Amino acid sequence: MKASRMCLKTLKEAPQEAVIDSHILLLRSGMIKKNVAGVYTYMPLGLKVLKKIENIVREEMDAIGSEEILCSALQPKELWIESGRWTKYGPELMRLKDRNDREFCLGPTHEEIFTSIVRDSIRSYKELPVSLYQIQTKYRDEMRPRFGLIRSREFIMKDAYTFDIDETGLNKSYEDMYHAYERIFTRLHLNFTAVLADTGNIGGNASHQFMALSNIGESTIIYNSNYSADQEKAEAKVDVYNEEKDLKDIQEVSTPNVKTIEDLSKFLNTSPKRIIKAIVYKDLISKELVLCLIRGDREINKIKVANKLGLGEFDLDFATDADFSSTSSVFGFIGPVGLKMKTLVDPEVTHIVNAYCGGNKKDVHLKNVNYKRDFDGEVVDIRLVVAGDLDIVKGEPLKEERGIEVGQVFKLGTKYSKAMNCVYVNDKGQEVPMVMGCYGIGISRALQAIVEEYHDENGISFPDDLAPYKVVIVPVKYTDEVMKNLADKMYDELKSKGVDVILDDRASSLGVKLHDWDLVGIPYHIIVGRDAVNNQVEFKTRRDGNKEVLDVDVVLKKF
């Protein structure tokens, strides 16, 4: 490609809305262009990298016997009614109507479509298993689109779906995908780890996320050498805190204006571990209030609560003062004793002997409160696990790290096949629901995760096999006949060998030209200058800035 013919516009300044390096660099290097918030165009150089990522994904999917198809983004409401997700998916689903008022959505994911395709195509157990994938544009009306391609409203995903006759088959399909993902993210040169994950909006009964480790990651990974999980899902060893043995009589304590756990612990001169923290959520669908009890030194995990209640994360909100008018409770002094409300009790709370908690009256707490004797509720793990908590395998301390979720695999089981009647006929002639798995990779998000990992103060520094072009030839002065001839000759030679090469034939200064290629992340720069008369050029490696003057033949042999 000749640079003079490229639609390339690099920017000196970072656009204001971009706050993280990879987003700034993708915009400054002209690889992507913002359309509206969370919607981007892939410009020629960005698209080239995207295609390289797609091809790696394609090769690894094909290698495990998954077949590529391409579905429409537009999906009819009816399929989503069948699966039950038309209402459940919530405001993230982009909904629209055609001229006849028929309703559609733009697919945020494609379980419904793939399930309907397979139920229409497959009849007998002899035709299973089936594995299909696509690389296609997805739509999610994200509450906060940000960080460019990391969280956008239109993005490119590889999504695959497997259909098996039973759990054993699913386990094999899942394992194949899991290992393919390991190969994909290795080939994408990402520093990644796979963690146990929550199944969220997709549903199902087992899941792993693939996380590119990065400080700007929006996910928190909880891990040590025995255990690793997304924080949303992470469990930890239950700590038993019971410094007292005998249950004492319950008593009121006057605690004027003491509302926070910290203040209360000081005021009562007791450990926060002996205080029961009460959090009240409101189920926005049924309007029911739910009391959640955790130990005073812990934080609550809202996802765990939502999962327990069979709700989406956004179907739950904190109750406010106004919600309490029907009960006698007072905000800030809420406790479980005598409060008639659906109650979830974290296991640690059940172990506290003679605990403190809110008294449901202004300026009153209770002491010597004990689970089962003074209050009841369903025992369920609802605590947020953080660094320092102990793992459930060997009881060793856990650590925290940030990650960008670049992929996720799910064992769906029969959730969709049952709801949508996707069945096969077994060897006894009976109809049985297929056992499904689904597997996503954020292709466009991965592009940005790669830039986040591979950049320096001069710009992007792509790994060789992911760069949009591998090498650029930069004549100091293209109007100089000797330089031009040598540059043209090298360009033709590399092109004929199938090397991804750019010839920078622009009239700009050498500084401006090199600056562009540093920014864009071309791994090798061949600078054709005064030494052209001796058939020599300067060869620069972008990654380490290493420069050497070499004979043209030596340089050409490198490619």
Which positions lie near Mg ion, rule CB under 5 A? 408
Q: Which is nearer to ligand ATP, 57 or 339 (CB)?
A: 57
- The residue of the chain with the least Cβ separation from ligand ATP equals 442
Q: Please choose which of Mg ion, ligand ATP, none residue 151 contacts, taking the beta carbon within 5 to 8 angstroms, the exact cut-off set by kind.
A: ligand ATP
The span from the CA of 447 to the CA of 437, in Å, is 25
Torsion of CA 89, 93, 96, 102, to 10 degrees: -30
Q: Please choose which of ligand ATP, Mg ion, none residue 142 contacts, taking the beta carbon within 5 to 8 angstroms, the exact cut-off set by kind.
A: ligand ATP
What is the bridge-based pairing of β-strands 103-106 and 74-76? antiparallel
Q: Please choose which of ligand ATP, Mg ion, none residue 109 contacts, taking the beta carbon within 5 to 8 angstroms, the exact cut-off set by kind.
A: ligand ATP
Min separation Cβ 306 and Mg ion, Å = 15
Q: Which is nearer to ligand ATP, 406 or 502 (CB)?
A: 406
Min separation Cβ 383 and ligand ATP, Å = 21
Min separation Cβ 405 and Mg ion, Å = 5
CA nearest 309: which of 331, 289, 333? 289
Contact 375, 221 (CB under 8 A): no
Contact 177, 437 (CB under 8 A): yes
Contact 355, 261 (CB under 8 A): no
Min separation Cβ 466 and ligand ATP, Å = 17
- Interacting residue ranges for ligand ATP, rule: CB under 6 A: 109, 140, 142, 151-152, 155, 157, 200, 202, 405-408, 440, 442, 444-445
Q: Please choose which of Mg ion, ligand ATP, none residue 128 contacts, taking the beta carbon within 5 to 8 angstroms, the exact cut-off set by kind.
A: none
End-to-end Cα spacing for the chain = 17
Q: Which is nearer to Mg ion, 301 or 408 (CB)?
A: 408
Q: Which is nearer to ligand ATP, 92 or 103 (CB)?
A: 92
User: Cis ω on the peptide bond leading into residue 256 (within 30° of 0)?
Assistant: no
Count the residues in the chain: 559
Q: Which is nearer to ligand ATP, 200 or 358 (CB)?
A: 200
Min separation Cβ 433 and ligand ATP, Å = 22
Q: Which is nearer to ligand ATP, 403 or 523 (CB)?
A: 403
Q: Please choose which of Mg ion, ligand ATP, none residue 239 contacts, taking the beta carbon within 5 to 8 angstroms, the exact cut-off set by kind.
A: none
Min separation Cβ 139 and ligand ATP, Å = 9
The span from the CA of 365 to the CA of 388, in Å, is 30
The angle that helices 21-28 and 443-453 make with each other, rounded to 10 degrees, is: 100
Q: Which is nearer to ligand ATP, 183 or 470 (CB)?
A: 183
Q: What does R_g of the chain's alpha carbons equal in angstroms?
A: 29
Report how far Cα 37 is from the mean position of its chain's Cα atoms.
Answer: 19
Amino acid letter, residue 104: F
Contact 382, 294 (CB under 8 A): yes
Min separation Cβ 153 and ligand ATP, Å = 7
The span from the CA of 102 to the CA of 459, in Å, is 48
